[in-house]
Structure 1
Amino acid sequence: MADGDAGQLQVGLLGPLSVRRGGRNLDLGPVRRQAVLVALVLRAGHRVTHEDLLDDIWGDHPPSTGVRVLPSHVYALRQTLETEAVQRAGVIRSGKGWYSFDDQETRLDTEELAARSGRAHETRASAGPAAALALFGEALALFRGEPLAGLPGRYTNSVRRQLQEQWHTLRRGRLECLVLLGRSAEALEELAELTASRPLDEGLLALQIRVLSTSGRQAEALDAFHGLRGRLREEHGAEPGEELRGL
């Protein structure tokens, strides 16, 4: 993520949490304090109640000190995030029973992800896979590892799952472009990795079966189909969908 304006706060969620201002990495302290910041930043401009924050981060095991634990975390975050230019208004505002993140200059790497992902999908639809292939790669390059790695809490886990799903969607889009361009051999290894991590994803498996079949590996394609059919029957009592049965 580029440094941008010197005073701009830059928050990276597409990997371990990263917060920068003026080209300098900011030390946010313990992981629960970082999780408090994430819960506020992603609801910027909205009031988040103390109870919601406790549930977001501590869940069914709230601290013995209850809501009294939050002011110490928010105070430390303010000390880290605020500069002389923003101290008067405050990056994190508060009222009776709530906090709100209100730095309108903050930039999130997820915003850039949305823009790049949108360009990739739109370009594929309008100009075809050759034009879109590099754009999918540029969107994927924003990921620095597991999103919000190591941060606890229900809210963070939910955000992490959403970002991981976006990562999978982009990878699949890139692989589909390779296949459409006749570069199936380049896609096979990555497809095997993805289907292993998502063994019940019928759309992904359908792509793998197509690639195996067009590569003259029909036996492997059939094995992949029957493997999925067995898993679906065992875990869900269901059969593969129409697309896979047709293949």
Structure 2
Amino acid sequence: MTDAPLRLEGVVATRRAGGAAFSLTIEALRLDPGALVAVTGASGTGKSTLLDVAALARRPDEAMRLEVCGTDAAALWSRGAKDALAGLRARHFGYVLQTGGLVPFLTVGANAALAQDLAGRRDPGHLAALAERLGIGALLARMPATLSVGQRQRAAILRALAHRPALVLADEPTASVHPDMAATILALLAEQARQAGAAVLLATHDAPAARAAGFVEIPLQPGAASARLPALAEA
């Protein structure tokens, strides 16, 4: 049986700023291959904190279970095994940021190839075929600064999927694009991830668009200085 790309249980992460603290509690979240999950909520309710924890970029304060593809990431955090955590990120994760987050001095093709190299999965044919499917096959030699917003987001999806990751994380990837383009980007992300067998965890304020693209919605439940992600045992 294939290990779930992501399993979180009893996870608490606290963000502190300006003397104030905000705590996010994740009851239970399991993403199996092909799962599409959208965490929704207003700004400041913990969506980015959730993605930071899932991406192994933020150490949680508590974690009954934090597993990535069968590896106990909570234990790695406890041991301070930063190299092992970085290896998990490189092999198993693809990340789509709000603004694309492409390396500005590399071409579109080189950005995607870098993801493959870091994961140890160089495959030019797969990269080229995926770029064609995303409608940016003719843009691989272009620099990110020469692309439109929509093209940059497609390039970010290309980079996120090029190395065949088990888990794709997307933080408000459609926040700065036209609604028609937003629908296209979410549909492409869902389609390509499912074809690759990747699970997708999306943070968004646009619940209708996410649902229309086939994502299961989990609304964050905000409090005065905290938020809770209710249990979703499996997706």
Query: TM-score, normalization: structure 1?
Result: 0.22
Relative contact order (C-alpha < 8 Å, sep 6+): which is higher?
2
Which of 1 and 2 has greater Rg? 1
Which structure has more helix as a fraction of its residues? 1
